[in-house]
A and B are shown apart, each in its own frame.
Chain A
Amino acid sequence: DAGITQSPRHKVTETGTPVTLRCHQTENHRYMYWYRQDPGHGLRLIHYSYGVKDTDKGEVSDGYSVSRSKTEDFLLTLESATSSQTSVYFCAISESGRETEAFFGQGTRLTVV
């Protein structure tokens, strides 16, 4: 299995609080992604990174920010959590970002109350 660890695996937080999710990889892959999974919507891309300090927005980036200060870590921050951000969040890594397989973490279930 690819070395991807998401933390925490489960979190309950209150509306308006900031939340940071962490994705850690041991594969030295250049590309990292954050998705959210919601019923009926599949996986929607939030942000992705194509190198250290190089990030770009996905299709549902409003309310989220990311940082990548080193190859192995990609952080997703909900600046002020809302109930609409209750979801399962997946991190993925890819060696080439295009034609190679993406490997996924086990997911973080976030509930905003």
Chain B
Amino acid sequence: AQSVTQLDSQVPVFEEAPVELRCNYSSSVSVYLFWYVQYPNQGLQLLLKYLSGSTLVKGINGFEAEFNKSQTSFHLRKPSVHISDTAEYFCAVTNVNDYKLSFGAGTTVTVRA
């Protein structure tokens, strides 16, 4: 079985400030990790994913995430946020043995001017 924990339920941040969203996972086998974003009243869309290789992954809209196997973490960062980054962000995991895509509880990011 696998699980995902997002450590912050809400993150308020000022425009042009950096933001970090924390995600920890647990799994007994190798994993694939994802970050998705959900804008108000919409479905989810992929920001980035980690499959293997370089632990620093770059995604769309200036986001990046770092995979840390020893700490079982996959934190998402953006150096300078915009008002348009206001959304809910979900960390998700699959593993090499099955097809279940499991999500964390989500982090709501509110960007203020």
Taking Cβ atoms with an 8 Å cutoff, the residues of A that contact B are: 31, 33, 35, 40-45, 48, 50, 58-59, 90, 92, 94, 97-99, 101-102, 104-107
Closest to B105 in A: A42
CA distance A98 to B100 in the complex (A): 8
Task: Determine if B32 and A98 form an interchain contact, defined as CB atoms under 8 angstroms apart.
Answer: yes
CA distance A59 to B105 in the complex (A): 14
Task: Determine if A40 and B105 form an interchain contact, defined as CB atoms under 8 angstroms apart.
Answer: yes
10 further contact pairs, Cβ within 8 A, besides A42-B6, A99-B94: A42-B105, A43-B44, A43-B90, A43-B106, A45-B101, A58-B100, A59-B102, A99-B32, A99-B49, A101-B49
> What total of chain B residues lie within 8 Å of the partner, measured CB to CB?
25
**How many cross-chain pairs have Cβ atoms below 8 Å apart between A and B?**
61
**Chain B's interface: helix, strand, loop or mixed, by majority?**
strand
CA distance A31 to B14 in the complex (A): 39
CA distance A106 to B44 in the complex (A): 8
Q: Mark B52-69, 1 if CB is under 8 A from A, else 0.
A: 000000000000000000
Q: Return the contact of B45 from the options A31, A45, A104 (Cβ within 8 A).
A: A104
Task: Determine if B9 and A40 form an interchain contact, defined as CB atoms under 8 angstroms apart.
Answer: yes
Q: Which B residues lie within 8 Å of A102 (CB)?
A: 34, 36, 44, 46, 92, 101
CA distance A105 to B104 in the complex (A): 19
Task: Determine if B105 and A104 form an interchain contact, defined as CB atoms under 8 angstroms apart.
Answer: no
Q: Return the contact of A35 from the options B45, B51, B103, B104 (Cβ within 8 A).
A: B103
Min CB distance B58 to A, Å, is 15
CA distance A90 to B88 in the complex (A): 15
Answer whether residue B71 sits at the interface, using C-beta atoms and an 8 A cutoff.
Answer: no
